[in-house]
Amino acid sequence: MEQKIMDFVDTFIEGAGEMGSGLGLNRSVAQLYALLYLSNTPLSLDDMANHLKISKGNVSMNIRILESWNAVRKVWVKGSRKDYYEADLDILKIIVTRLKEGLNRRMSQALSLLQNAEQTIAENNQNGNTKDKEQFKVFQERIDRIKKIHSMTTALLTTISPEKFLMGNL
């Protein structure tokens, strides 16, 4: 491969790693996806490990993450017994799906904690003095606001699709 192209690929992969890291993703996951995204042929675990200068075990572990996101898929290469992979080129679909899944998971965890807080509020409202009851009323109002925000974001995320986004029809 020509040096200019190699330099571009390496710069792109480094940028993808930085961006992924900034979004809370594992740097190697982002770099693996970037490498496969730019490749016009499927790559083996050895190919990816050699290019990124990371262990084959690290590649294997992180490629499983990308497979679970449907961001990459295993493909068959005639005449080889190795596992080869290629990227799903629909980045927007992958991003929207990951945002939906991540937000839903985090919001579900937060709502579980809020339900525990509401139970505490209910128990303390029965036994507490007037000042405590006023404070717990404020807590309940704020929890109710958070629940409304959750409902709104859930509704919003269900309406977002990559196709609508690209067409400007959110």
Give the list of residues 6+ apart from residue 136 with CB closer than 8 angstroms, or none.
121, 124, 125, 128
Alpha-carbon distance of 75 to 82, in angstroms, equals 10
Alpha-carbon distance of 152 to 11, in angstroms, equals 39
pLDDT greater than 90 at residue 85 = yes
Query: Looking at residues 57-61, what average pLDDT do you find?
Result: 96
Alpha-carbon distance of 158 to 106, in angstroms, equals 16
pLDDT for the residue numbered 162? 63
Nearest to 16 by CA among 2, 29, 42, 34: 34
Task: Please state which CATH class domain 3-88 belongs to.
Answer: mainly alpha
- Per-residue pLDDT band at 164 (split at 50, 70, 90): low
- Per-residue pLDDT band at 33 (split at 50, 70, 90): very high
Q: Could you state, in order of their start, the residue ranges of all structural domains in the chain?
A: 3-88, 92-167
Q: Report, in angstroms and rounded to the nearest whole number, the Rg of the chain calculated over CA atoms.
A: 23
Highest mean pLDDT among 21-35, 43-57, 146-160: 43-57
Give the list of residues 6+ apart from residue 153 with CB closer than 8 angstroms, or none.
103, 107
Q: What percent of the chain has pLDDT over 70?
A: 87
pLDDT greater than 70 at residue 43 = yes
